[in-house]
Amino acid sequence: MDTKTVGKVPFEKGELVTNSNFTGTVWLNYLAETDSIHNVNIGSVTFAPGARTNWHYHKGGQILLVTAGRGLYQEKGKPIEVIETGEVVKCPPNIEHWHGATPKDTMTHIAIGTNTNIGGAVWLDPVTDEEYHKN
Neighbours of 105 (CB within 10 A): 18
38 part of the interface to a second copy, by CB under 8 A: yes
Burial level of 2, CB count in 10 A (0-12/13-18/19+)? exposed
Nearer to a second copy, 118 or 129 (CB): 118
Q: Which range, of 17-25, 38-46, 47-55, 120-128, touches a second copy by CB under 8 A?
A: 38-46
Q: Which of 76, 90, 133, 134 is in the footprint of a second copy by CB under 8 A?
A: 90
CB 123 to a second copy: min, Å: 20
Q: Which of 24, 43, 93, 126 is in the footprint of a second copy by CB under 8 A?
A: 93
Question: What kind and span of H or E run contains 130?
Answer: helix 129-132
d(CA 36, CA 76): 31
CB 22 to a second copy: min, Å: 21
Burial level of 133, CB count in 10 A (0-12/13-18/19+)? exposed
- The count of chain residues that interact with a second copy, using the rule CB under 8 A, is 41
Question: What kind and span of H or E run contains 131?
Answer: helix 129-132
Residues forming contacts to a second copy in the complex (CB under 8 A) are 1, 3-10, 12, 31-32, 35, 37-40, 42, 61, 63, 65-67, 73, 75, 81, 83, 85-93, 95, 110, 112, 114-115
